[in-house]
Structure 1
């Protein structure tokens, strides 16, 4: 008889494998991944919104401004990168223009297109906003044990670039499912 209370190495391995397995409810159902992703995305959005409010920005405005600062882009290109519909994009750029952070200028290559150019003041706001975004994201990752951070980000990237990369088409009349931008009429 041993007085050692630590589990044998194979028992410890089994215990850690069981802890890593997806939790199931009493009926053996799979975890509610939809709830977990939606809830965490919602809370992250509220945290990001509160943090960016410190500099008078919304996450949407920061996203558009940051993408516009990276490269010469049209309003349509920025809408696609920011996952915004045309109406929301117009309202957002109007707000950025009124704030003196961006301006619409003619494209040098397509006279029908307008480029969203970030002003000097806008560039300062992008830099300040990026520090805030990085802080909020750092706080999220900091809530995980260090050994899980890279695995978590890799798993999210794999889902976002693979199985969850393309929204499913929803049948006409379906509620609560956003159709992909191309399918809208």
Structure 2
């Protein structure tokens, strides 16, 4: 789990959604009423929300140059039913993509992805390469080549494994 600062803008939603599951401990915040309420979910929404979470995780692993840890529904397929509309500010003429329906989680995620694409930040949101972690984090490194959510935990473990493997 990362000690990094949250992702910028709407990417914070995607990051926090992916991080509702702690792979190492198995703790899933969707199992609690507070965890579901944080995303406006009901019990009936959980299968689709978990599917969306794992599709996002697969994309974030790809951003970090890693294959997904299992087969998932393609993210584009899950977001296809979440139409976006162009909202234009009448005062300054600025425009942005917003969900046609702000309620459903896929609509909010689609808008977050669109905002991040425009801002050029989408591919900086990654998943930790550690197979026991895959925690989402925003890569703020200058070269954009971060590999772990935390150098102190996952990075240190990986480096120690490599060091011990040399013996």
Quick check: TM above 0.5? no
**TM-score under structure 2 length normalisation:** 0.31
Between Structure 1 and Structure 2, the one with more strand by share is: 2
Larger radius of gyration: 1
TM-score, with length taken from structure 1: 0.29
